[in-house]
């Protein structure tokens, strides 16, 4: 996995706009062989995840890192933070109750529906003691130029 960009920041609403703009510039500048099919999805994910850091974790994070990475098969956005961990993340994504959905999790459910993978690893399970939110999308590969198959 190659890290194409990494930004350290203090979670606040102005950081969400600034990071979205930085990510947009990065994605726009990628050469054709590294182009990202779901640019708007990644920009939405960036905004949603950073804004969520300003609203929900208790205690609030004091430092966070946003990374955009690629390998041969996937584009991924990673958000790491030192705040409180989300509880029941998977259950909230799967909850179909309209009242629960209106209360919380709508943005995350939209992201889960827009990407191949949306996962969360609480800090207690990581060596660096930081929470990890990961959004992953399979890369589009051109058709086999030799026509084989």
pLDDT in tens, 24-73: 999 999 999 999 999 999 999 999 999 989 988 899 999 999 999 999 99
pLDDT of 105 strictly over 90: no
pLDDT of residue 17: 95
pLDDT of 92 strictly over 90: no
What's the whole-number mean pLDDT along residues 3-29? 96
CA-closest candidate to residue 46, choices 5, 82, 86:
5
How far CA 11 is from CA of 45, 50, 55, 56, 94, in Å, comes to 15, 7, 10, 11, 26
Residue 89 confidence class, pLDDT cut points 50, 70, 90: low
Domain coordinates in residue numbering, the chain = 2-138
pLDDT of residue 113: 86
**Chain-centre distance of CA 123, in angstroms?**
16
Architecture of the domain made up of 2-138? 2-Layer Sandwich (3.30)
pLDDT of 15 strictly over 50: yes
Token pair for residue 24? 């947009």
For the chain, the average pLDDT equals 86
How far CA 51 is from CA of 13, 18, 29, 30, in Å, comes to 6, 12, 25, 26
């Amino acid at each position: 996995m190659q890290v194409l960009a990494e930004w350290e920041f203090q979670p606040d609403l102005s950081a969400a706009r600034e990071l979205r703009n930085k990510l947009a510039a990065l994605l726009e500048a990628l050469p054709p062989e590294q182009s990202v099919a779901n640019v708007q999805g990644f920009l939405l994910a960036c905004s949603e995840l950073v804004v969520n850091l300003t609203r929900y974790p208790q205690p609030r994070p004091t430092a966070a890192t946003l990374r955009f990475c690629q390998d041969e098969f996937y584009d991924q956005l990673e958000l790491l933070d030192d705040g409180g961990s989300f509880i029941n993340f998977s259950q909230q994504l799967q909850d179909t109750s309209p009242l629960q959905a209106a209360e919380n999790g709508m943005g995350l459910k939209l992201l889960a529906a827009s990407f191949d993978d949306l996962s969360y690893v609480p800090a207690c399970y990581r060596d660096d003691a930081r929470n990890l939110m990961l959004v992953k999308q399979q890369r589009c590969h051109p058709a086999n130029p030799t026509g084989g198959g």
